[in-house]
Structure 1
């Protein structure tokens, strides 16, 4: 049977869609951090997770000690450091290359209050009750063992400390809000408020 050009194009589109779907399923089943080789995507606009929206939710104050988990190339960190100055922004990432890139960018901007640390969100290398606030944006879904990561964040936050979690599409690792809330509350957080929708949101929790 002869297949026409339009039919071939249709079949090719179907196959392409199937391959993309398999990729999404694999990504959901095997979460992982954005590799350094793909760092350019970290600088793309984030309509649901803008910096000013994060600032409104986090309510950072000058002099505070704040933690960002998964800063990547510094999309938020380079601004958050200025929000808390003369306080400290601690930035933890799995990839040393990302931390090095972020710190080069910080030096170019004369930002001196970012403290980078390579480490795992499931075993934070910080003392108990050592931060006023913490945030992670488009990061929690990349962690294998999200419950452990949330328990660690609760441990390092002071009583009443603030945690902001941001998630949005088209990230294949996106954590739905309902699942996030149940996990965060099981880890010892109290839900405060949320901005956004099912397409993308920022949620604020309090420790204890």
Structure 2
């Protein structure tokens, strides 16, 4: 019996120790799942900035006024209507491809800024049968030609409109889109024109900017009448527009798309 008691004591001590170990051991707790980061915010709308014009000696094709380092080109006047309406224009520039690439609702209102003879205006009118094309120019002679041509073609949804050198002279939020074909580089007041166009476009309205490719020396156009994509982005993004892309369907020109946020 004397031997049994120490054995029982030993067993009890072992049991108590085991119970105490399990009792004191803390349960394993897995670390919490990491909190996922919030979704990235969409790119903020570019803020318009005011850039001073710089003047200097004019080159033969320029006016001696510089914007973002680019000399502004001389305006092509109404005597050049024949060049705008030349029969080989389709072969050289493929305007039908540009028009096909421009997406518009049938009831959209689009302004053809620097419409000239209306070469694009009349062709664009077919895309907006329930809307209209505002054919804007600063030369009354161009608008007179437009009116006569509209009557000849019996097109009623092309509206000639006289703008100013620094203002499109259109109501706020009245446009779904704007088209500028080889004209923007000649604007003597590009900063003011872009600001007025920003006001005239509805939120989400787009600019379709066609310019001869300044990066390509094979394009047979005088340098000041061409623009690089980088230069166009610098100027339009500086005016508060968002670059959407360059469609690139044309042999000589950029077809760049910008949006009014």
Instruction: Check 1:35–1:108 CA distance in 2 against 1; reply closer, same or farther (3 A cut).
Output: same
Deviations, residues 42-69 of structure 1 (Å, cap 9, x unaligned): 1231557433332244312211111111
What's 1:7 paired with? none
Shift of 1:187: 1.1
1:183 aligns with 2:235: yes
Residue 165 of structure 2 contacts residue 187 of structure 2 at CA under 8 Å; is this kept in 1?
Answer: yes
Compute the TM-score of the two structures, normalised by the length of structure 2: 0.65
Return the index of the structure with the highest Cα Rg. Answer: 2
What's 1:119 paired with? 163
Structure 2: how far apart are the matches of 1:177 and 1:152? Answer: 22
Please report the RMSD computed on the Cα atoms of aligned residues, expressed in angstroms: 2.2
1:36 aligns with 2:78: yes
Structure 1: how far apart are the matches of 2:194 and 2:101? Answer: 18
Compute the TM-score of the two structures, normalised by the length of structure 1: 0.81
**Which blocks of at least 5 consecutive residues in structure 2 are unaligned?**
1-57, 65-72, 213-218
Shift of 1:115: 1.1
Q: Which runs of 4+ in 1 moved over 4 A?
A: 46-49
After TM superposition, list the pairs within 5 Å mapping 1:148-163 onto structure 2: 148-163=192-207
**Which blocks of at least 5 consecutive residues in structure 1 are unaligned?**
1-23
After TM superposition, list the pairs within 5 Å mapping 1:76-115 onto structure 2: 76-115=120-159
Equivalent residues, number: 185
Instruction: Check 1:77–1:152 CA distance in 2 against 1; reply closer, same or farther (3 A cut).
Output: same
